[in-house]
Amino acid sequence: MGILTWIVVGLIAGLLARAIIPAARGAGIIMTIVIGIVGAILGGYVGSLLGFGEISGFNIKTLLTATLGAVILLVLQRMFAKK
């Protein structure tokens, strides 16, 4: 995938993940994109380990995998965040 596709997938996955698991209030659009991109990488890695295939192109499977990875990332962030 190209960098623009990663940014778009990251933005959409980050927004969906933040709708499912609300993150810190001060996080802006850049942080949402970063969460989505890192979530896509995490989701793709876990998905490939479990035999779901790789992330390729802009499709629903990629978006769901990236969103799941971003949700996992937000849950981990909440677990380790200082309260």
67 or 23: which carries more pLDDT confidence?
Answer: 67
Q: HEC string of 33-59?
A: HHHHHHHHHHHHHHHHHCCCCCCCCCC
What is the pLDDT, as a whole number, of residue 74? 83
Reported pTM: 0.77
Radius of gyration of the chain (CA): 12
Q: What is the per-residue pLDDT across 38-77, written as a single tens digit (0 to 9) for each?
A: 887 787 777 778 877 666 677 788 888 888 888 888 888 8
pLDDT band for position 13 (cuts 50, 70, 90): confident
What is the pLDDT, as a whole number, of residue 42? 80
- The domain limits of the chain are 3-80
